[in-house]
Amino acid sequence: MSATAASAVIASPQDLALVERVLAGEDAAFAELIAAHHASMERLARVYVHSGDVASEVVQETWMAVLDGLQRFEGRSALKTWIYRILTNKAKTRGVREGRIVPFSSLGREDDDRGPAADPDRFTSKGRWSDPPSPWGHDSPEAVLRRKESMRALQQAVETLPPSQRAVVTMRDIDGWSAEDVCNVLEITETNQRVLLHRGRTRLRRALESHYRGE
């Protein structure tokens, strides 16, 4: 992978206060951390390993590593960045051991990182639509997901994205992270992040379209 993103932003005063409370042994402070991150951590870990159970294990191990390492947290990155880097390192190790193609790994190249993201067969040689997007008849995400099959189709499309795209889409679009935070945790450039997001989103739109067309 190319050069890493600009150095992570430093911890906020809120981060440092929370760390201090956890180190002081305050249950509510640790509970706060769990509530803020646990579910997102499982989602991200799942990109690297083959099952939800293994992802849960990786997240549990991460929490223990966080507690053991917290004393040494110096606030040179945001707390979130620090936690998720521990997570991705553990998940990566586990994924590699499982023989999975893990995101951003030098071991496996992903099939889909060059050429146009959208299917070129949909356009004429002049780049006009020959097979334009068919209307969906839904105008809000709620309407899209009200139908269980559509939700299932979308979920499945996310799960079958190439791992690096899935990681970026999961963080950006499911968990609502900023581009900067994603770059800091995954140690990728802004441009790389945007390309992966674009390719991932393009595939998801296509999957929903196929679903609506009954393909």
Residues 6+ apart with CB under 8 A from 187: 1, 4, 5, 104
For residue 58, report the phi and psi dihedrals to the nearest 5 degrees: -60, -40
Residues 119-148 that bind other proteins (CB under 8 A): 120, 122-123, 126-129, 132-133, 135-136, 138-142, 144-145
* Residue with smaller CB distance to other proteins, 108 or 122: 122
For residue 127, report the phi and psi dihedrals to the nearest 5 degrees: 85, 15
* Residue with smaller CB distance to other proteins, 7 or 134: 134
Among candidate residues 34, 42, 35, the one with its CA nearest the CA of residue 58:
42
Q: What is d(CA 72, CA 209) in angstroms, rounded to the nearest whole number?
A: 49
Among candidate residues 181, 184, 179, the one with its CA nearest the CA of residue 196:
179
214 is a contact residue toward other proteins (CB under 8 A): no
The contact pattern for other proteins, residues 60-99, with x = CB under 8 A and - = no contact, is x--xx--xx-------------------------------
Residue recorded with tokens 């009954």: 214
The contact pattern for other proteins, residues 97-116, with x = CB under 8 A and - = no contact, is -------------------x
Among candidate residues 97, 106, 107, the one with its CA nearest the CA of residue 49:
97
197 is a contact residue toward other proteins (CB under 8 A): yes
Among 65, 96, 101, 174, binds other proteins (CB under 8 A): 174
Q: What is d(CA 56, CA 45) in angstroms, rounded to the nearest whole number?
A: 8
Shortest reach from residue 93's CB to other proteins, in Å: 21
Residues in the interface with other proteins (CB under 8 A) total 56
Residues 6+ apart with CB under 8 A from 23: 70, 71
* Residue with smaller CB distance to other proteins, 105 or 150: 150
Among 15, 40, 46, 49, binds other proteins (CB under 8 A): 40
Per the CB < 8 A criterion, the answer to whether 42 and 59 are in contact is yes
Per the CB < 8 A criterion, the answer to whether 22 and 70 are in contact is yes
Among 12, 155, 160, 210, binds other proteins (CB under 8 A): 155
Residue recorded with tokens 């998801």: 204
Residues of this chain that interact with other proteins (CB under 8 A) are 25, 27, 30-31, 34-35, 38-40, 56, 60, 63-64, 67-68, 116-118, 120, 122-123, 126-129, 132-133, 135-136, 138-142, 144-145, 150-151, 154-155, 158, 169, 173-176, 179, 194, 197-198, 201-202, 204-205, 208-209
